[in-house]
Chain A
Amino acid sequence: NAGVTQTPKFQVLKTGQSMTLQCAQDMNHEYMSWYRQDPGMGLRLIHYSVGAGITDQGEVPNGYNVSRSTTEDFPLRLLSAAPSQTSVYFCASSYSRESYEQYFGPGTRLTVT
């Protein structure tokens, strides 16, 4: 049982480049979400999904896109990377949107130069 997996673990991008952060879970969870973690700011919700084909914005969605074509996968796309997007990104999942216990992946550390 792998839980929540994320790839890559580390990434360096130049300003303006695009990339996709991958997230997958094998627990058949309906709810998946993306957070970014910045010093002194805790975790902030970027986007979330309550099931395949359904996504919505969180607190800080600008500059990011998501899609949910399957229950298992929830990729996060950076369309044109900016230095302000340098952060650690965490994917999380839970049984349903009403379920407070979320399971987190190990994170992706992204640097944009």
Chain B
Amino acid sequence: GNSVTQMEGPVTLSEEAFLTINCTYTATGYPSLFWYVQYPGEGLQLLLKATKADDKGSNKGFEATYRKETTSFHLEKGSVQVSDSAVYFCALFVTSGSRLTFGEGTQLTVNP
């Protein structure tokens, strides 16, 4: 079956620090990969996506590269801000299954 594993949280950083949140996956078929973000009290929003191997998704200073050889899609940001404090979910989608499979989520807190 399909599954997504994220690094355990929570993660606490100081403003302007470098962020990495690890994500690995297993899938039957050829998945598309996503990062969703959930700000406090809100629903999930799509942050970035990659639909094929070696694609790099990017948005709001965040980046993630689809690595088929290591089945990974790690999220990075060079300089985090307090406003980046949120829960981040890695997810995959396989067309044949027609559903998103989510990781456990990683809570990020950025202190000023």
Q: Which residues of A contact B (CB under 8 A)?
A: 4, 33, 40-45, 48, 50, 58, 90, 92, 97-98, 100-102, 104-107
Contact = CB atoms under 8 A, between A and B. Distances in A.
Contacts of A43: 44, 89, 100, 102
A3 to B, nearest CB: 9
B32 interface: yes
* Most A CB within 10 A of own CB, among B49, B102, B103: B102
| Shortest 10 CB-CB contacts between residues of A and residues of B | A104-B43, A42-B102, A100-B93, A97-B98, A104-B44, A43-B102, A42-B104, A106-B43, A105-B43, A100-B32
A43 B102 CA distance: 6
Contacts of B105: 42
Contact of A90 (B4, B32, B44): B44
Contacts of A50: 98
23 contacts: A40-B104, A41-B104, A42-B104, A43-B44, A43-B89, A43-B102, A44-B102, A45-B99, A45-B100, A90-B43, A92-B43, A92-B44, A97-B98, A98-B95, A100-B32, A100-B49, A100-B100, A101-B49, A102-B46, A104-B45, A105-B43, A106-B41, A107-B43
Contacts of B73: none
Interface of B: 4, 32, 34, 41-46, 49, 89, 93, 95, 98-100, 102-105
Question: Which DSSP category, helix, strand, loop or mixed, fits chain B's interface?
Answer: strand
Given A42-B104, A43-B89, A101 B43 contact: no
A43 B41 CA distance: 15
Contacts of B100: 43, 45, 100, 102
A45 B2 CA distance: 13
Contacts of B89: 42-43
